[in-house]
Structure 1
Amino acid sequence: MTKLYQLLSLSILVLTLASCNFTENIDVQPDGSGKFSLEMDGAGLMAMAGDKLGEQFGAKNNAKAIDSTFSFKEIFDKKKDSIAKMSPEQQAAIKKMENFVMNIKMNPEAQQLLFSMNTPFKSVNELGGLMESMSAMKDLKGKSDKNNNPAAMMSGMNNTQLSFNYDGKNFSRKAIVDKNAINKIAADSTGMAKMIFASSKYTLKYHFPKAVKSVSNPDALFSADRKTITVEYPFTDYTENPEKLNLNVVLE
């Protein structure tokens, strides 16, 4: 289990230090249930790091590829004593993450480095609070070990309250931003970090059970049947201007 946690920590670390493309997927079924996933493509990092990255991710005996899947619940079960010491609010936030499953695929020869986190949902509305849940994980290993905690590494991206709403006709994604925290992140960011994130992208890709009548972002792309919309943003919008990713969709 320690190895799984280290693998998760390393995965988040390298993705925050290199040019990567992120895709936030929501697939809504006719009954309102569905699947949420966050995919991260680190092919650019693999092109630079090659086999050295494989060693960091545990590839041994000349292994050329890694394909590892594990659930957050596995980690939380092993960390139940630490979780029990958290506040009721933190424990509730952590619990929202336990159904997430993470998959890591790495193939140096194909210059492939893919990460995905996914979870089913019964209602789109229950996806609200995901950012707060990730932030709550920052103390999971204790204050002395925050630098190795994946959520702590991602904390600079979690200064928003994210909510989703869907009533069968209207869908919305809304971020309420902590302006002071966002401004501090922008001020503390190094020139190199900004250059890295400037070349990265954050994409929203949402599939609905009915055709889309209208979407608030004029740059949204539609599938042939208009049931899937895709909107691409510079990653700096996600980190420094999360409100730009707010979206309203009206279905037919």
Structure 2
Amino acid sequence: MKLYKLLSFSFLIATLTSCTFTENIYINDNGTGKFSVDMDGSALMEMAGDQIGSQMGADAKKDVDTTFTFKQVFEEKKDSIAKLSAEAQKEIKKLENFVVNTKMNAEKKQFLMTLSSDFKNVNEMQDILQTLSTLQKLEGGAAPASPFGNGFGNNNSKLSYSYDGKKFTRKAVIDTQKKAEKAKDSAGDMSKMMFASSTYVVKYHFPKKIKKVSNPNALFSDDRKSITIQYPFTDYMENPDKLNFDVEFEK
């Protein structure tokens, strides 16, 4: 399956309902770690696998388990990228080392996709999800390039992470002007409807035991080094600051 066709298919999954998106962060003792976003569209495959299969044609009959980097995609689309502004090219380059893994099994009604990258410091991941929305500029925006759909990451906010060994912070600052502009766009209503039954989950794993979390809905692992918090996907899209929280660690 060609990379761009696979990305286009994943867009079809992502813009329909009943997906679960999970944002994972693993931080090691030295501050390095791994960032990933998982999309589970298996519920949709269960409901509409036959219709989706017809969209994929012969590829739907095959089990898919494939891994590639955005660097490969960018090589295929280098002519299109060269036409972008220097700023847009710089943004896209941030994704160069991200790895995309896709597993699809029509018989088992399974569709899983993971977008991941290692980091030297979690601060490097600032605005990384928003950068995904820059991909729609490829092909002049005529075809989706982001694995999770063009709307993913484009929630009118700037997201940052910080970790100093004593405290971890996830903070999204809303751009009120962009939010107001989006409110006037009828496409926003369509996006809201499509993602209404989807879920956004954060799972963060730390090298130290957690003392407290500012979000009262956080669930702790048995060793108190990991937390899981679940949100409606509409909160992620419309009120991203609701996903802000601080984590303090034991000494």
TM-score by length of 2: 0.89
Contact 1:13–1:150, Cα closer than 8 Å, also in 2: no
SS in 2 for 1:68: strand
Moved more, 155-164 or 202-211: 155-164
SS in 1 for 2:139: coil
Contact 1:101–1:118, Cα closer than 8 Å, also in 2: yes
Aligned counterpart in structure 1 of residue 74 of structure 2, from 67, 76, 90: 76
Post-superposition offset of 1:192:
6.9
CA distance in structure 2 between the partners assigned to 1:167 and 1:91 by the alignment: 31
Aligned counterpart in structure 1 of residue 236 of structure 2, from 217, 231, 238: 238
Post-superposition offset of 1:185:
4.1
Post-superposition offset of 1:157:
4.2
Q: Which amino acid aligns with 1:150?
A: A
Aligned sequence identity (%) = 53
Residue matched to 1:150: 145
**Deviation string, structure 1 residues 219-239 (Cα, Å, up to 9, x no partner):** 100000000000000010001
Contact 1:59–1:66, Cα closer than 8 Å, also in 2: no
Contact 1:17–1:193, Cα closer than 8 Å, also in 2: no
Q: Summarize the alignment of residues 130-209 of structure 1 with structure 2, pairs less than 5 Å apart.
A: 130-142=128-140, 146-151=141-146, 153-155=149-151, 157-158=153-154, 159-186=156-183, 188=186, 194-209=192-207
Aligned residues: CA RMSD: 2.3
Post-superposition offset of 1:193:
5.2
**Deviation string, structure 1 residues 2-28 (Cα, Å, up to 9, x no partner):** x21121122023212222111000011
Post-superposition offset of 1:184:
4.7
Post-superposition offset of 1:183:
4.4
- For structure 1, the residue ranges without an aligned partner over 5 or more in a row are none
Residue matched to 2:49: 50
Post-superposition offset of 1:80:
2.5
Q: How many residues align?
A: 247
**Deviation string, structure 1 residues 49-78 (Cα, Å, up to 9, x no partner):** 223423434544x73522122110001122
Runs of 4+ in 1 over 6 A off after TM superposition: none
Post-superposition offset of 1:191:
6.8
Post-superposition offset of 1:119:
0.7
Contact 1:68–1:105, Cα closer than 8 Å, also in 2: yes
Kindly tell me: are residues 115 and 153 of structure 1, through their superposed partners in 2, closer, same or farther at Cα, counting changes over 3 Å? Answer: closer
**Deviation string, structure 1 residues 133-158 (Cα, Å, up to 9, x no partner):** 2132221222xxx2412349424641
CA distance in structure 2 between the partners assigned to 1:240 and 1:209 by the alignment: 32
TM-score by length of 1: 0.88
Q: Which amino acid aligns with 2:145?
A: P
Contact 2:17–2:197, Cα closer than 8 Å, also in 1: no
SS in 1 for 2:61: coil
CA distance in structure 2 between the partners assigned to 1:190 and 1:128 by the alignment: 24
Kindly tell me: are residues 66 and 156 of structure 1, through their superposed partners in 2, closer, same or farther at Cα, counting changes over 3 Å? Answer: closer
**Deviation string, structure 1 residues 142-175 (Cα, Å, up to 9, x no partner):** 2xxx241234942464122111111111111111
Residue matched to 2:25: 26
Kindly tell me: are residues 190 and 169 of structure 1, through their superposed partners in 2, closer, same or farther at Cα, counting changes over 3 Å? Answer: closer
